[in-house]
Amino acid sequence: MSVVPALSGASGTAGVPGVSDAPAGLSGASGARGASGVPGASDGSGTSGEAGDMPAPLAARARLLPALAAVYRAQLSRARVARIPLLFVATFQSVGIMILMRGVVDGGSEARSVVAGSSVLVVAFVALNLLAQYFGQLRASGGLDHYATLPVPPAAVVLGAAAAYASFTVPGTAVTAVMGSALFQLPMAHLWILLAVIPLSGAALAGLGAALGLLAPRQELATLCGQLGMSAALLLGVLPAARMPQVVSYARDLLPSTYGVEALARAFDGQPDWWAICADLGVCAGVAVVSLAAATWAYRRAAVR
Amino acid sequence: MCTVRGLVKTYPAARGRRGAPATPAVRASDGIDLDVVRGEVFGLLGPNGAGKSTLVRQLTGLLRPDEGRVRVLGHDLVRHPERAARLLGYLGQDSTALDELTVSLAAETTARLRGLDTRAARAERDAVIEELGLGELAGRPLKKLSGGQRRLACVAAALVGERPLLVLDEPTTGMDPVARRAVWAAVDRRRAERGVTVLLVTHNVIEAETVLDRVAVLDRGRVIACDTPTGLKALVADEVRLELVWRAEPPLDVPEVADLRKAAEAARSADGVTGRRWTLRLPPEAARAAIATVTGGPAFAALDDFTLATPSLEDVYIALGGRAEGAEGLVKA
């Protein structure tokens, strides 16, 4: 019984004719493709030497602003997929801190700094922490290659991503500031100052976050740096400065988010000291320029290894 | 078109950390010479760790070689790595940069970043999405797609914006046959219409045989052979591959069958005896005699199936001394 299927099986495969075909096929050795450009090229030495004579024209570079806009738009669209839950977390965290602190501080300048600190904490969470993680991940996985093989100015990639992350913080920061003002009965008349505080402190912290993410030798370190930066912004920004030891208050002065916090806290005064606010925001702007320049340099360094 | 001379790249030794042993310095490119002619599909074939990606990263300006020259279309890319982005389109192995974008936004953004204005970028986006049959997926983020679909979306991003040279690192990994065909059709069209040159990294030997004009086989940072697929196969033309599958114990008391088994056992790594499957490489005459033996008498009763094939690029690869398993790392510097 078993012989019959075996017979048909054996003759059904490549079979004996294949044997006689094989040498012919091999010695023939001329596929349609094989015949095309091969004979000259196969020995490899100097056949395409003529290519060296006339350099081919280079394709156009992407200009800074359009490229920045394209990166910004692409990054903003990511929010729909990945960022919205994290924005909720950032906002709830800040609101929770304010509710906790209500039992500790009672009005006055301390309440102002708690609300200002919690609001800017949202910026630190998103712009510093999440951006450091994003660039750390992009660098570790080789995702930077995508941008590095496109003719974009490095600044466009860094600024576009930083601007998008700073934009993510707008709703959370605004919600936190308004809820905090209501919670501690602070005047909301000058809350429009957020329009300056968010972009300036956002730029400073996003630049810092991007630089950390791109410079950290490993992805985990980038995440760690981002988390530490955010914790620093939390402790040094939210806790009232007057109760801190001397050393810690120096550290507070070094953190760029502090100046955003101060500017916002001053704006809760009935008669804000506008010069001091401008000075604080000026520091934010200065740090933003330096940190974004550092991030751009770090991007160049990370992209070509 | 693309000339590479004496390319050397050594990755420095890494100090051992806790949990990670020290790794010695690795010579990932060891004096590579290549010439790619305009309008051809040129393949780089080799096992994991052979140095294919390292070579490609040096050609695309992502990695600076220690020594050697890379000229693409008359431009020195070792001295001016930033020009690479304006000469070639690159498809890397990773999609992190695009993962959270929708397919259409990934293509459009990439086109914008290749220097196209908004209108041109949108036109290119629509064209490439149509061409690759991505219409139904256009509004979905890459992250939510299957591996093959995501790869196809990345190919779309690599193809937008005209470039005279396309460098594709394993473009069809994980794709179904329809997607695969769409990719090769798109590549072929660019070659026919604009004389685009394609440099392709691949693992897939069968694909390599069907789409490549020429192949360089890489092993341990060296080019061990470079020719057309047919030309390479001619190197081992004196052998054919015979595969025998037994349904029961093979009749080893037949002397010819016993000889075949001995030959199979003595074969190189990829061949040999695995369970009831014997793989042999034989001269055509010997193969014919072997088949005559196993298709008659007591051997035939025990035989389940047999196949006979002319050499594939895989056979060439093994004949050239490449490692079939790719188990060990690169050769030490």
- Residues from chain B that touch A53, judged by Cβ atoms under 8 A, are 74
The single residue listed with the structure tokens 């965290």 is A93
- Residues from chain A that touch B158, judged by Cβ atoms under 8 A, are none
Out of B106, B118, B305, the one facing A9 most closely (by C-beta) is B305
In chain A the beta strands, taken as DSSP E runs, fall at none
pLDDT in the model for residue B305: 87
Reported pTM: 0.78
Q: How many CB pairs under 8 A join A and B?
A: 238
**A32 pLDDT exceeds 70?**
no
pLDDT top residue among B329 and B263: B263
pLDDT in the model for residue A49: 42
Classify B29 as helix, strand or coil. strand
Distance from CA of B172 to the nearest CA of A (A): 18
Distance from CA of B114 to the nearest CA of A (A): 6
Chain mean pLDDT for chain A: 80
**Residue A236 C-alpha from the chain's centroid:** 24
Instruction: Please state at what angle helix B147-159 crosses helix B103-113, rounded to 10 degrees.
Output: 30
Radius of gyration of chain A (CA): 30
Percent of chain A with pLDDT over 70: 81
Distance from CA of A197 to the nearest CA of B (A): 29
**A236 pLDDT exceeds 60?**
yes
Q: What is the DSSP string of B34-67?
A: EEE-TT-EEEEE--TTSSHHHHHHHHTTSS--SE
pLDDT level of residue A12 (50, 70, 90 thresholds): very low
Cross-chain Cβ contact A58/B112 below 8 Å:
no
Q: Which of A89-103, B52-66, B284-298 has the lowest mean pLDDT?
A: B284-298
B154-180 pLDDT, tens digit each: 999 999 988 999 999 989 888 998 999
CA dist., res. B199 & res. B171, Å (int): 11
pLDDT in the model for residue B46: 83
Contact indicator for B105, B121 with CB cutoff of 8 Å: no
Radius of gyration of chain B (CA): 24
CA dist., res. B45 & res. B320, Å (int): 12
Contact indicator for B142, B95 with CB cutoff of 8 Å: yes
- Residues from chain B that touch A222, judged by Cβ atoms under 8 A, are none
The single residue listed with the structure tokens 């040279």 is B165
Cross-chain Cβ contact A19/B102 below 8 Å:
no
Furthest C-alpha separation in chain B: 77
Chain B interface test: which of A149, A300, A304 (most B C-beta within 10 Å): A149
